[in-house]
Amino acid sequence: MSGNPPTNTAPNPLIVPIEVEALVVNDEVRDKVAFQRWKANFANLPLGLSPEPRPFDDNTAADWRNCPEANGVYLHWHLPSAFRQGHHDTAKGDTTFPLVPNRWLVVRYSGEPHPRTVTAWVVESDWLPPQGNKGGTTPYVRPHTQENVHIGRRVAAADWTGETADLPPYLTAIGPGLLTFSAYQPYNEDVLSIHDDLTGVADDGTLSYLVVGWYSAAKHDPSTQVDSLAKLSWQVAGSTDTTPPATTLYSGYSIGVHWQRTGSVPVSQRPDGESVGVAVGNNAADALTGLLLSKKADPLDAALLEALHYGLLDDLDDAGTESVDQSIHRAWFGATDGGHVWEIVDRTSNAEDRDPPPPPPLTKAERDAEERLLSTLNTAQGHHDAAVRELFDAQWKLYGVWWLNNSPTLPDIFADPFAAALDPAKSGLAAGVRQRFADIAARRSSSSNHPEHIPWGATPEELAQAADAYLKDHGIDIAHRELKRVPLGEFHRANDPVTLLCGLKGPARDDTNGPLTCRLPGSLLTQIDLGNGLISAPPTPPTPPVDKLPTAAAVRALVAELWLLDQAFTAGTLTKVVADPKAKAVGTLPQFGATPWTQPWSPLYLMYELNFFPIPYQNEHQTNWTFDGTRYHWQGTGTGDAPAYEIYSGRIHLTSNATFTLAAQIRRYIATHPDTPTDSLKELERQVARWDLLSQALDGLTLQMTRRDPSVAGHPYDERNEPTSLATLIGDQHRTFPIPGDPPKGSSWPQSHFQQTRSGQFAFTRLHVIDVFGQVCDVINPDGTGSPQDSDRKPIACPDSTRPGQTVLAKAPYRFVELRPRLVQSARLRFDHVSALDDDHVLALDIGGNPVCGWLLPNHLDQGLSAYAPTGEALGEMRVVYGSNNQPEVWWDPAPGGQYPDIASLCHDFRHLADFLAGLRDAGPASFSALLKTIDETLWSVNPLGNWDDSTMTVLAGRPLALVRARLRLELDGPPLLDPSWEQWQYVVGLKDNQPLPPFVSYPWWVRLGSVYNLDDGLIGYQTEADGSRFLAVHAASVSDPYIEPIGAGFPLTVAGTPDSAHLTMLIDPRAAVHATTDVLPVSVLRLPSGFIDVPLSRMEIALRMGPLLSQVAMLGAQEQDRRLVLPRPSTRHGDWTWTDMGHGGETLPLAAASPIAHVPTAPPILRTGWLRRSGGTRPTPSTP
């Protein structure tokens, strides 16, 4: 068989460093070191099963432990991080990884030091056996099929004939879809690793290895894909040139591997499990806080470090600790797309036009047309987004039916219904999915004439074109106006808890902390110190045949470098060379592999098994958790005397995320605070980089609670992508498969283990760390019976967020972790303004409307409360007066010249304002005074105190407060999550109708509005639709009153995952936001748009009741309009002052400032009673309408 010539023969390749690790395995290692070296089994895929065994199931354990042929050296090389990072295409919705080098030369030195014996192999990583034939080493799936094959082979270098065929490339870091394919050595033998069984090698000796990789086809080399090495996070030693060379090689070494066939277990960094610390939090930063507190760190220091970890140190000063806590709480949730709404804005000017003319103002007819268009379009967009979520739900159910249909435990009752459901030609589930696809496609198509057509594009450019066409079709001038799609609030789902391990002694991967330092052939080592000065490699060091390799000259130079490093190890000088390379070597040392070999320990996986004790949020109309306004606490009920538990397990990939993100935040803080002393922060960054911490979320834990398995599993495959095939209909909704439980026995259905909420406590029963070669560190193991009540468990460090107040079992409480109530389905708390005239008019979705019911302005001079229309016109004032019976009562005075003589007259135009004022009036004078005091005391805790333009007026008349309408609604991300137990599939395939909603949908979740501890919260209080006789206040005034009820006294506001909404009337400081806290979701924030604030406040007139005052009228000219009332004029920066008499026919006169010099008036002064009025609002008129 003759080979083809090399295709990439550039004379000066870039040599990219790779890490090479060599695991020595002899009889003692196999006998005394625990291993988990499972293999993937892709024959499971057609059955819908995972190719990976269940956690703790090792399908090779017996062969490994009892097989002397397993002895030898396992050589594994790590791909650079540039190859392990995928690219997500938002238009296509898929993630792709770059192709990796698919040819590797492995060179081994063995035997006597002089001369060394050289042995070499060529690894063809992507070698595939011919169709239908056997061969290859690593289990795989033939590309573009689901055929179970083995790929990769190793050929002696002397026998390798070069490239034999130009096959389409396919090999990436994730292989056939396993995220750890390139990292876990048992997954990639003869692909990215080899097993050297050391045939012909002495039983005791020292080995050294060189690994060199390349691409079989030069066109796939990354040097042809990028224009800068920086995009790959690579740099050239001693050069600032970032231009990629013509080709690349990948090289690494393992020097001085000590082999003893009958020796003891080599020393390694693998720790004793007892010394490994374990912490569990809501994320890595939270777990780290728990770990620090367990080690007696100062709580304040731990809190500051946590704020730094989240990038929130500055917020501690600006908004207070509660705002920081809310941001931290938000980080415990993951977000998904929440849909979109549309808005019409002025078209952005051409970038070349630096001073574009303003667009022409809209006429009323044009504005009305836009409002009608947006109302229609946003309704259509909402229906489209709901249809997409319903499609995803139906696709998963279709996949569930397909998966269960392959189950050996499929009950007979489902055989025919499942077959019909999977047939797109029959009325059923598949046909329904097909129809949903068609409906969504029609909604997105401009030529479909769908009544709810929306603009659509797969790219931003296509979307912009479709939006312009939509406007043009509806008669809107696209020269000046632009239709833009903006996102709605995201749905959120609680992240799985994170386990953080301390003391695993895993190596840091240098290629993730900075650019890789690459070399050119001219900068390789040419001389090294062997103890008697520098020496060069011999002209012909032991070298395998490399003539058929591309860039053979560079490979020979690397072999010469191997000889130098190997000889330095033998001479005992290698460590000194690494310590001082400039003095003891000529050339640049490789970034990896120059240090002497040690038995590797590289933690990769964490396998966990735990007992989860569910604590239902509620059962039998009893709520087992109480809400304190910030978080939930277990009351000790709902579990019974013998708590039941579920067993969950998983296998997750460990990372150094905790230290990586903290170090990055420290660097960011230093960069953004140049005036801050940085020496201590830089030292902290250095310390953090050395912290021995690895962590990962317990991925799949919440999914298992909902009876879904996140393991990689089979799914229908259709190479042709036929539109009616199951593969096309299911799409990518196959990432989890159902766990239906035991099949029914007779006519009775087994009890479902679906958890309605994620709430309870758990204790680990097994916790194993697995390294890249399968070595095991037992951190937690069953202590005999494996019963959850065994007390021999490692203490788990928990932050306050996961530390139980009381535990489900009294014995060994230190082992328990608490998961406070969370929804098992993505959801969001919609907190929206609604029109003051129509609660169904939601301002986030509909155009037009005004959520402001009216404005209230406290009058500090006479303890009154002035009321204004939403547009800023004065309506009247409420104050306490003494009535005819000489008893105080709350009185309404209409504004000067006003048309509303009493509160009842407000009802037609300002219903909610009238209801609020009537309730306050009926509550009585004491309640009226208590409300004014509550307002005053609350406003002192609102941070933007200086945002008003005239602080003098806030002293005289207080700050304007807005009375606004809002709604709260808990929305689920799609239809309620299906309980996939066998019984529920009857409804999916039509065996039964009217499927009942799962109980969690109707659970009431408490909501706390506002906060006196969040300086950016402007809520004074609110009233619910059901009860206007009490005012629920954020801050209870120092004077107790039945009308004022603190919000924290029971939290009367609840929401549930039903279509119902809670409507509110809120009294707010309009400069600040209102926060809604539930704990089960991130805090929702509602802020009144400035368009509802600036214009009304610019029109607002302040009327201060005055009198009786001695005053006189002065004539500043000969005309009647020159008459002025002489009074001391208040000192304010904005507005005009006038006087309106209560008598004299309500005469209104401008003011003239009284002279500070004493004089005799020409006419006697008159006693006047009336209103001192200031026009011009409480802030300047805005410059734009």
Question: Residue 887's Cα: distance from chain center in Å?
Answer: 60
pLDDT score of 37 more than 80: yes
Residue 541: per-residue pLDDT:
94
pLDDT category, 1185, cuts 50, 70, 90?
very low
- Tell me the per-residue pLDDT of 1088-1101, one tens digit each, with 9 for 90 and over: 998 899 888 888 88
3-state SS class at 617: coil
pLDDT digits (tens, 9 = 90+) for 744-794: 988 889 999 999 999 999 999 999 999 999 999 999 987 644 444 444 678
355 pLDDT above the threshold of 60: yes
Residues 438 and 556 grouped into a single domain: no
- Specify if 1075 maps to a domain: yes
CA–CA distances in Å: residue 128 to residues 154, 214, 215, 220, 839: 12, 18, 16, 18, 65
pLDDT at residue 527 above 60? yes
Q: What average pLDDT does this structure show over 271-289?
A: 95
Containing 198, the helix (H) or strand (E) segment is none
Distance of CA 710 to CAs 295, 651, 759, Å?
Answer: 35, 11, 20
**Beta carbons of 1026 and 941 less than 8 angstroms apart:** no
pLDDT tier at 956, thresholds 50, 70, 90:
low
Lowest mean pLDDT of 103-107, 836-840, 1051-1055, name the range: 1051-1055
Q: CA distances (Å), 524 to each of 105, 531, 565, 588, in order?
A: 18, 20, 12, 6
Tokens of 670: 């230093």
Q: How many helices (H) and strands (E) does the chain have?
A: 22, 56
Beta carbons of 605 and 651 less than 8 angstroms apart: yes
Residues 40 and 163 in one domain: yes
Q: Is residue 1131 pLDDT above 70, yes or no?
A: no
Higher pLDDT, 1130 or 1002: 1002
pLDDT exceeds 50 at position 1076: yes
pLDDT digits (tens, 9 = 90+) for 721-734: 787 899 999 999 99
Indicate the pLDDT class of residue 929, thresholds 50, 70 and 90: very high
**Same structural domain for residues 933 and 1053?**
yes
Q: How confident is the model at residue 703 (pLDDT cuts 50, 70, 90)?
A: very high
Give the rounded percent of residues in the chain with a pLDDT score beyond 90: 66
Q: Is residue 616 part of a domain?
A: no
Number of folded domains in the chain?
Answer: 5
- Predicted local distance difference test score (pLDDT) of residue 1180: 43
Tens digit of each residue's pLDDT (9 = 90 or more) over 510-519: 555 678 999 9
Which whole number is the average pLDDT over 904-924? Answer: 95
Q: Please give the share of the chain, as a percent, with pLDDT higher than 70.
A: 92
Q: What is the pLDDT of residue 194?
A: 98
C-alpha 329, offset from chain centre: 11
Most confident of 316-325, 911-920, 937-946: 911-920
Q: Is the pLDDT of residue 159 over 60?
A: yes
pLDDT above 80 for 743: yes
Residue-level pLDDT at 1158:
67
Determine if residue 759 is left, alpha or beta; phi over 0 gives left, psi from -120 to 50 gives alpha, anything else beta: beta
Consecutive H or E run containing 309 = helix 299-309
What value does the mean pLDDT take over residues 1036-1040?
A: 75
Residue 607's closest CA among 1059, 1145, 52, 158?
A: 52
Quick one: pLDDT at residue 795? 94
1062 lies in some domain: yes
Taking 80 as the threshold, does the pLDDT of residue 1037 lie above it?
A: no
Report the alpha-carbon distance of residue 365 to residue 368 in Å, rounded: 5
Give yes or no: residues 939 and 1029 share one domain.
yes
Mean of the pLDDT values across residues 644-650?
96
Residue 1109 has pLDDT above 90, yes or no: no
Q: What are the residues whose beta carbons fall under 8 Å from the beta carbon of 908, sequence distance 6 or more?
A: none
Q: Grade residue 417 by pLDDT with cuts at 50, 70 and 90.
A: very high
| pLDDT tens figures, 183-227 | 999 999 999 999 999 999 999 999 999 999 999 998 899 988 888
932 and 1037 in a single domain? The answer is yes
What is the model's pLDDT at position 65? Answer: 81
What integer pLDDT is reported at residue 1124 of this predicted model? 83
Residue 224 shares a structural domain with residue 364: no
Q: Among the ranges 41-50, 225-234, 464-473, which has the highest mean pLDDT value?
A: 464-473
Is residue 236 over pLDDT 60?
yes
| Banded model confidence at residue 245, pLDDT cuts 50, 70, 90 | confident
| 358 or 1132, greater pLDDT | 358
Residues 256 and 350 in one domain: no
State yes or no: pLDDT of 362 exceeds 70.
yes
The per-residue pLDDT for 872 is 92
Mean pLDDT value of segment 1103-1131: 76
The answer on pLDDT for 491 being more than 90 is: yes
Is 377 inside a domain boundary?
Answer: yes
Distance CA 649, CA 612 (A): 10
- For the segment 879-901, the average pLDDT, to the nearest whole number, is 89
Confidence of residue 1184 (pLDDT cuts 50, 70, 90): very low
The answer to whether residues 346 and 455 belong to one domain is yes
pLDDT at 1182: 43
Domain of 541, in residue numbers: 524-587
Give the mean pLDDT of 1023-1032. Answer: 86
Confidence of residue 99 (pLDDT cuts 50, 70, 90): very high
Same domain, 1109 and 1085: no
Domain final position from 266, 285, 301: 266
Q: Clarify whether residues 368 and 484 are in a common domain.
A: yes
Instruction: Please state, rounded to an integer, the average pLDDT across all residues of the chain.
Output: 89
Long-range CB contact pairs, 316-322, < 8 A, 24+:
318/943, 318/1015, 319/943, 319/1014, 319/1015, 319/1016, 320/943, 320/1013, 320/1014, 320/1015, 321/1013, 322/1011, 322/1013, 322/1014
List beta partners, residue 768. Answer: 607, 778
| Residue 134 placed within a domain | yes
pLDDT at 952 > cutoff 70: no
Domain boundary among 1033, 1062, 1092: 1092
Is residue 942 within a helix (H) or strand (E), and if so which, with residue range?
none
d(CA 689, CA 683): 10
841 inside domain: yes
Tokens representing residue 588 in the block: 């640049």
Token pair 């609660």 in the structure block, residue: 839
The pLDDT of 662-676, averaged and rounded, is 91
pLDDT band at 707 (very low <50, low <70, confident <90, very high): very high
866 and 911 in one domain?
yes
Q: Which of 1032, 1011, 845 is nearest to 931 (CA)?
A: 1032
pLDDT at residue 1015, rounded to an integer: 84
Residue 806 lies in a domain: no
> Same domain, yes or no, for 190 and 254?
yes
pLDDT grade, residue 943 (50/70/90)? low
pTM of the model: 0.91
Q: Which of 543-547, 983-987, 992-996, 1044-1048 has the lowest mean pLDDT?
A: 1044-1048
The structure tokens listed for 999 are 């109980």
Domain end (from 488, 505, 533): 488
Instruction: Give a yes or no: residue 623 inside a domain.
Output: no
Give the SS3 label for residue 64. helix
| Of 644, 647, 715, 613, residue with least CA distance to 55 | 647
